[in-house]
Copies of this chain bind each other. A is one copy, B any other.
């Protein structure tokens, strides 16, 4: 078993509404070759990496929505990415909007796939923590309609043995929830990869803008340490037709430290030679789950969704 793995985070700058998937795949290919020049064996692309971040737009005609979705993966447009990855022996994570026919109906998910160095899809994840809202809001500068355009993922938090380790996938807002990482850690994940599109402005509050980047990093750094895992997070960044996404792609070690981070809001590759054993001392001591976790006291985490209704309302939110 390899004890180190060269991972790359391949950030994308903005994708305009006017840009075609063909052009985007060219950009992904350029990033793939750049990563290869570093000796990278596993590259992480963003969430919804083939189109603009369309959940910011209110659309009433399903045809308009569906043009952002892929009905097959790989498909004609993305096949060159799979071919190049196979040729170079690089595995990848790719996020895209997935339209599939299941249970005799059309279903739509915010999806990521894990592709092995042989160019074959070995894992699929469908976003579980969909943020935003499902109806049009008139009180905000832009929409965040993930709850409208996607169903909640139905595949759970999977983990897959590959690259001499075990990899888990998440997508964007999943990263803010400690449950995401804990479930994957309990399923053996030692590397968690995720893509994101995060608006710089919090439409729900006049929160200082700098806190958005702070929170983005904080939740992942804590999770990396608390689960003794590597986390690789890749942004789509910059101004998409006037709407700013905050960027901040980074690679986080199991000590919770950011060991590499992007410096632009454009197409950019960052890499790190990840020591896959670094988290062992953490999982063998302070976070030896078997020795220290006390699940008999964690009940509410899985038995109730919101705050206990029996709690005295005067002190509730």
CB contact between A218 and one of B256, B285, B312 (< 8 Å): that residue = B256
> Which residue of chain B has its CB nearest to the CB of A152?
B294
Q: Which residues of B contact A211 (CB under 8 A)?
A: 255-257
A305 at the interface (CB under 8 A from B): yes
The answer to whether A204 and B315 touch (CB under 8 A), given A188-B308, A256-B218, A292-B131, is no
Residues 173-200 of A, flagged 1 when their CB comes within 8 A of B and 0 if not, give 1001111001101111010000000000
- Alpha-carbon separation in the docked complex, A178 to B303 (Å): 16
Contact B178 A226 (CB under 8 A): yes
Q: Which residues of B contact A159 (CB under 8 A)?
A: 311
Could you list which residues of chain A lie within 8 angstroms of chain B, going by C-beta atoms? 1, 128-131, 152-153, 156-157, 159, 161, 164-166, 173, 176-179, 182-183, 185-188, 190, 202, 204-205, 207, 211, 214-215, 218-219, 221-223, 225-226, 228, 255-257, 280-281, 283-287, 289-290, 292-295, 297-308, 311-312, 314-317
Contact A311 B187 (CB under 8 A): yes
Q: How many copies of the chain does the oligomer comprise?
A: 2
Q: Which residues of B contact A301 (CB under 8 A)?
A: 179, 182-183, 186, 295, 298, 301-302
Contact B306 A204 (CB under 8 A): no
Contact B298 A179 (CB under 8 A): yes
> Which residue of chain B has its CB nearest to the CB of A279?
B317
CB contact between A186 and one of B153, B228, B308 (< 8 Å): that residue = B308
- Ranked nearest first, the 3 interchain pairs of A and B with the lowest CB-CB distance are A290-B306, A222-B222, A204-B285
